[in-house]
Amino acid sequence: MIPIHDDVPSSRFPFVTLGIIVANAGAFAFELLLTERQLQRFFYQFAVQPYEYFLYFSPYNQGRIELSDLIIPLFTSMFLHGGWFHFLGNMLYLWIFGDNVEDRMGHIKYLVFYLLCGLTASGAHIVSDPTSHIPSLGASGAIAGVLGAYICLYPHARVLVLVPIFILLYTFEVPAWVFLGIWILQNLASGIATLSVETAQSGGTAWWAHIGGFVTGLTLVWLFARRIPPRQIPYYEAYIPWDD
């Protein structure tokens, strides 16, 4: 299922969501200018390589890996992508679901929330595949956190999805909790399946980064989202009682 749009209006312009999309687009445009060799070196420098985080604290490091080599990729990897499908898919999800989460959190809180989800997503991937030398990159983990927040805040929102069936394309409206529930279950099933193989990044996808980001979004939304008075809650939103 490919989401097209939702039916939740925003009361403020999503400056942060749009800014993140522009930053990702700029980084991706830069990647397109590089040769294959340059791009490979770029990824190895600015994407997350799980083995480095364990090697750093081992006696075998001997200064080969510095602390900056671990910290910088945690942030830069969130803005890099491995191809057009990877980039466009992530930006589509961010644009559809990010504006409403930003609306409920406010611009600054939303930016902090987004970065925290991306960091914990990378952490989940590092722990799930500690010996991997494969650079892990993409905004998927951070966006998964946005999806986790969305399913809590707007469980009954209607999401228009495009579903390819054989050679035909159909559109359906489904509740957000159904669409995002299927999304996380698919990721969870893929993540569990990778535990039985040598690498946790099966098929080039860091499934546990998605799961880690989603769980972080489910958890942190309670701290970042503002409350709406019960009488003002539209059908698609969930009441947040913890702020009474």
Compute CA distances 146 → 2, 136, 164, 227, 243, whole Å. 17, 19, 25, 17, 20
State the pLDDT at residue 158. 92
CB neighbour list of residue 48: distance below 8 Å, 6 or more residues apart: 73, 74, 77, 122, 125, 126, 135, 136, 137
| Interatomic CA distance for residues 87 and 92, integer angstroms | 9
pLDDT in tens, the chain (244 residues): 889 999 898 888 999 999 999 999 999 999 999 999 999 999 999 999 888 888 877 776 766 778 888 899 999 999 999 899 999 999 999 999 999 999 999 999 999 999 999 999 999 999 988 888 888 899 999 999 999 999 999 999 999 998 888 888 888 899 999 999 999 998 888 888 776 655 444 445 788 899 999 999 999 998 998 776 555 566 666 656 544 4
| C-alpha to C-alpha distance for 4 and 87, rounded to whole angstroms | 16
Q: Please give the sequence-ordered ranges of beta strands (E in DSSP) within 45-167, or none if there are none.
A: 158-165
Cα–Cα distance for residue pair 2/89, rounded to 1 Å: 9
pLDDT attached to residue 232? 54
- Sign of the CA dihedral with 209 first, then 215, 220, and 226 last: positive
Give the CA radius of gyration of the chain. 19
Q: Global pTM? A: 0.88
Which 3 state secondary structure label does DSSP give 155? Answer: coil
**Cα angle 33-36-39, degrees, rounded to a multiple of 5:** 65
The pLDDT value recorded for residue 199 is 45
